[in-house]
Chains A and B, each alone.
Chain A
Amino acid sequence: AMEDVSAKFVSQKISRTRWRPLPAAALQPPDLFATGSWDNEDNRVSIWSAGDLGNAGLNGEYHGEPHLLCDIQHNGDVMDMQFLDQERIVVASSTGTVTIFRHHQNNQTLSANHRWEKAHYHVDQDTSCGGAACTGVVCNNPEIVTVGEDGRINLFRADQRDAVRTIDNADSSTLHAVTFLRTTEILTVNSIGQLKIWDLRQQRNEPSQIFSLAGDRVPLHCVDRHPNQQHIVATGGQDGMLSIWDIRQGTMPVSLLNAHEAEMWEVHFHPSDPDHLFTCSEDGSLWHWDTSTNVSEKPSFLHQGGRSTAYLSHSTINQSVVSAWLSNDPTKDRMEITNLIPNQTLSVNSLDVLGPCLVYGTDAEAIYVNRQLFA
């Protein structure tokens, strides 16, 4: 319910929000998250505590609004960021630089731990002019993959000074996002509606597979992979469309689902409950896509006032498969989708889900924490 959401106005436009990963076998909900800002004269990377656990109520819920633990100046817009481990965050900058920041928990400070200056850059015919925005980063400790407006793919190791592998001109258009498909394979999306698989073991500087949207080549802005069924991939496009792809077959998306009215900036499967998926958009909405239960037996928690709830039928092309994301039985297969933020006007740039918790940040300079997603 809305009452479980706490908001804080932070006097900076938020481009990214990320929960700190939980240690293995942790039972508590996540308590710390990081944010990055954009379009400020002075941009910052900040670490927040989600709220006070201590004096809380009976069932160990958090109370109060998020409060700032520490922050550090960041050169350029924060374009993307990702926790490498419990202490280190990798941040992609609009200047093309990639920085690892370390969060020192004993004295609550942040410091730059390692930096790859101009990991992404444009080269003019004669002179090298400025960096190119690094648009996406993904980590699989100790490996870090970054992509950028320069169409370049970099593979770094957290402990090595130089890039392990660089694919120059990997893409002729802007690469908008990257994620790991498997340990050695990555997925990228670009500004001409293509989803590509790259096998980093191969020395060829070419993708091993290219998928693309039919018709107008609508740019893709975000990508996520199903945590358990690796062949299921979700992407979000400039027109707000959610595409579900089965990368084992075909070159086109299995289904196209429409909810947002403008750019979809992020898409995330719930990491431990992947029947749920979350997307946010420039249009100021954040949708919760739920394929977990049959609609007829649905508990009523999603029907509360103020929310708009709709049912969508898959327009599926493919048969087969156990996953609700790919199946196409029109009687059973209905997805419930809910906008978690009615009446927001400015863009929701980022979201992250972990356990029962959701955190998101907006261009209205506010961060929101929802601690009871599945209440």
Chain B
Amino acid sequence: MDEPDTEPPLVVVPGADPSARQLCFAWGPAEVLVCETLFDRAGGSRSRCWHCYPLLTGSVAGTGQGAPSSSQVFVVRRDQDIYIQTLRKLFNESHGIFMGLQRSEEELAGKSRKAQLVQVSKNYRSVIRACMEDMHEAAVATQDPALQGQYSTQVSILSAMELIWNLCEILFVEAATAGPLLLRLLDWVRLHVCDVDSMVREVLSSESPSKHKLFWNVVDVFVLQGRMDEARHLLSKEASANPTSMNMYKILDDLMKKMPVPSVGNTQTLTELELKWQHWHEECQRYLQDGTFASNPHMESICKILLGDEDAILEKKELMTTWYHFLVTRLLYSHPTVKPMELRFYAQSSMDLFLGGESSPEPLDLILMAAFEFEIHQVIKECSIVLSNWWFVAHLTDLLDHCKLLQSHNLYFGSNMREFLLLEYASGLFSHHSLWQLGVDYFDHCPEYGRVYLELHIERIPLSTEQKALKVLRICEQRQMHEQVRSICKIMAMKALRNNRLGSALSWSIRAKDAAFATLISDRFLKDYCERGCFSDLDLIDNLGPSMLLSDRLTFLGKYREFHRLYGEKRFPEAARLLLTLMTAHIAPCSFWMTLLTDALPLLEQKEVIFSAEQTYELMRCLEDLTAGNPDKQKFQDDDVETTKVEMLRLALARNLARVIVKEGTVEGS
């Protein structure tokens, strides 16, 4: 079981004063709300009257008499880097790489799979580098010193991230073997120790480089980094300026030229290399011992470096600037065929020698050391503690997991480390007003808890426009998150209803197949109709199509409107039949029967007889059911208007019955 072995970092909330007042807080998904309470520090408050005020007050509060005007709610965010504008490029571009990696084919065998993973790793690094450049440009461009400081900090954090990532790529992803390993480490040092570049430029651009006071420093830098061709080129300038020591130069130049180096192409075996190297080493040794370079301390020191003399190399500490440069130089000249598992010994001793007890290792040193020791989990743990974002550890861990390097490690809190870190990172994205969309795909690739996290987070996305709601809805629908789909549609339907947009409200509830809500909206339509005597939103109601079947009330609404349309088109018999069916088939709610019967009045009064005898009887039964079965019987008797209506209906029905009997009798008789 892992126990945290460092104190959690202290977060200072600017503006809050915990020494004066007690703070209270509430956890959010990726944020903490903190606010000052009205309790003072001592607990026993002298101003007791304040206790009756609500403890949580927003920043706008403070209207109450005793409430302090400073009452504020602070949002404390965990993943702060998420909010840095320039880093959004990192988040977005790496999202694409991440998705590519998840899609990539695991079936690819051995070498091609490794090449693929190395390429992915390089892509991640190039995004970090691009971001670093942008940040650097921004730092140069800005006038604001505070902002400049911020950018510079970010540049150094990004550069440290890239340094660590690159080392992990060499050791874990590519898993370079003895020989190529050294070449990779040399590239790594050359890429990241760039403090000397300006010095090199200054010397090379001077009128006569060999006279420049930094000339030998530059030669040394080249030698320390194993850049032999460049070193020899510089030395040749010195040689032509100093013909007297020509011989000495020629010998040194020859030694440097002959130095055997591991080759990438596997043309020689390690044993061959070691033999050659041994031979070359002895040759250097001979020249040093017979005092060939004794007259020139610079060249003598270079020869010592070639021999891997630790003291001679350490003398150039200033030029190497870091212990890991020292390590790689040392390996180059003493153990060029170092095996991965031997690295830890050289790394530890190099750090000890380099720091020499004068300073203690920084977090970055410890992370690199853990990498050299192949303690992958330690690397990730240290990075999680030190870095101010989850981006780095989440993506690195995912990549290492794809390299099948993390499979044995399960955390005591449920999921594995990869998933845990991805969840943290994605939660950070979801707390951002704009980056939340990226978070979805990360949750998708967390098999254990991703779904639950997504469900919890997606409901908290503010649905400011229909367009945004549609995007959120699409995410939920694609993942069969029925509960969330319903909830989103309901929220949108509710909003539309509040804005009196019945049509929109209805289409949202149709989308969610929310029958109850469709009924509610249909009732609103019917109520509007009863009040105004005409339908609103005909374009919608006339085009309900199959969605009409979603709820009984909606069906009624559609059918009732159809009745009006038939009536309007003077298709009376059809209209009459429909009207009757609405009641007899109990499609219409009872509360609406009176309206329907009233609608029958003009049909009863037509010159033509429309309702058949049978239909008329049914109408009469409906009317009697309504007046008899209505619990508000009183209402009918008290309300004059209603009574008159019922009387008029009875009369009209009776007259229609009379007419229809005559008519039907006549027709049958003839």
CB distance B501 to A150 under 8 Å?
yes
Contacts A215-B545, A345-B99 given; indicate if A11 touches B474 (C-beta within 8 A): no
Given the known interface contacts A9-B92, A40-B433, the answer about A217 and B547 at a Cβ–Cβ threshold of 8 Å is: yes
Interface residues of B in 464-509 (CB under 8 A from A): 464-468, 470-471, 474, 478, 498-504, 507
> For the complex, is B536 an interface residue (Cβ under 8 Å from A)?
yes
Whether A366 lies near B92 (C-beta < 8 A) is yes
A238–chain B nearest beta-carbon distance, Å: 8
Q: Is B568 at the interface (CB under 8 A from chain A)?
A: no
The minimal Cβ–Cβ distance linking A171 to chain B, given in whole angstroms, is 6
Question: Which of B85, B100, B502, B547 sits near A172, CB closer than 8 Å?
Answer: B502
Q: Find out whether the CB atom of A149 lies under 8 angstroms from the CB atom of B434.
A: no
| Closest residue of B by beta carbon distance from A149 | B466
Map CB proximity to B onto A157-199 as digits: 1 under 8 Å, 0 otherwise.
0000000000001011110000000000000000111100000
Which residues from chain A contact B546 at a C-beta distance below 8 Å?
Answer: 215-216
- Indicate with 1 or 0, residue by residue over B87-111, a CB within 8 angstroms of chain A CB atoms: 0110011011001100100000000
Contact A125 to B500, CB < 8 A, known contacts A343-B100, A364-B96: yes
Q: Does B144 contact A (CB under 8 A)?
A: no
Question: Within residues 350 to 367 of chain A, which ones have a CB less than 8 A from any CB in chain B?
Answer: 363-366
Residues 204-240 of chain A, each 1 if its beta carbon lies under 8 Å from chain B, else 0: 0001001010111101000000000000000000100
Interface centre among A94, A149, A193, A345 (most CB of B within 10 A): A345
Q: Is B92 a contact partner of A365 (Cβ separation < 8 A)? A: yes
Q: Given contacts A365-B88, A366-B92, is CB(A79)–CB(B465) below 8 Å?
A: yes
B65-92 toward A: CB 8 Å interface, digit per residue (1/0)?
A: 0000000000000000000011011001
Provide the residues of chain B in CB contact with A12, threshold 8 Å.
Answer: 88, 434
Contact A172 B501 (CB under 8 A): yes
The CA of A214 and the CA of B543, in the complex, are separated in Å by 10
Residues 538 to 572 of chain B near chain A (Cβ within 8 Å): 538-540, 543-547
Given A79-B467, A212-B543, A216-B547, does the pair A124, B504 have CB atoms closer than 8 Å?
Answer: no
- Whether B92 lies near A129 (C-beta < 8 A) is no
When distances are taken between beta carbons in the complex, the residues of chain B under 8 Å from A262 are 474, 478
B437 contacts A by Cβ under 8 Å: yes
Is A122 interfacial (CB 8 A cutoff)? yes
Instruction: Evaluate contact between A347 and B96: CB separation under 8 angstroms.
Output: no
Instruction: Contacts A11-B89, A39-B468, A173-B504 given; indicate if A282 touches B474 (C-beta within 8 A).
Output: yes
Instruction: Indicate if A263 sits at the interface (CB-CB under 8 A).
Output: yes
Check A171–B468 contact: CB distance below 8 A: no
Shortest C-beta distance, B451 to chain A (Å), equals 18
Secondary structure class of chain A's binding surface, majority of residues: loop
Contact A210-B471, Cβ < 8 Å, known A363-B437, A366-B92: no
Tally chain A residues at the interface, Cβ within 8 Å: 51
CB atoms of A192 and B543 under 8 A apart: yes
For residue B455, which residues in chain A have a CB less than 8 angstroms away from its CB?
none
Shortest B348–chain A CB gap in Å is 41
Max count, chain A CB within 10 A of own CB: residue among B434, B467, B498:
B467
Contact A217 B543 (CB under 8 A): yes
- With beta carbons under 8 angstroms apart, the residue of B464, B474, B544, B547 that contacts A77 is B464
**B436's closest neighbor in chain A, by CB?**
A39
Chain A hits for B547, CB < 8 A: 216-217
Q: Does A297 contact B (CB under 8 A)?
A: no
A151 within 8 A of B: yes
A164 to B503, CA, bound (A): 26
Q: Are A172 and B499 in contact (CB under 8 A)?
A: no
Q: Is B401 engaged at the interface, CB distance under 8 Å to the other chain?
A: no
Residue A88, interface by CB 8 Å: no
Shortest C-beta distance, A283 to chain B (Å), equals: 9
The reply to whether A124 and B437 contact each other, CB–CB distance below 8 Å, is no
Provide a sorted-by-A list of 16 A–B residue pairs whose CB atoms are within 8 angstroms: A9-B93, A11-B92, A39-B433, A40-B433, A41-B434, A94-B464, A171-B503, A172-B538, A172-B539, A174-B504, A192-B507, A207-B539, A216-B546, A216-B547, A343-B99, A363-B437
Known: A174-B507, A192-B540, A365-B88. 16 other contacts (CB 8 A): A9-B88, A9-B89, A9-B92, A9-B93, A13-B437, A132-B499, A171-B503, A191-B466, A191-B507, A192-B543, A194-B539, A214-B545, A343-B103, A345-B96, A363-B471, A365-B92
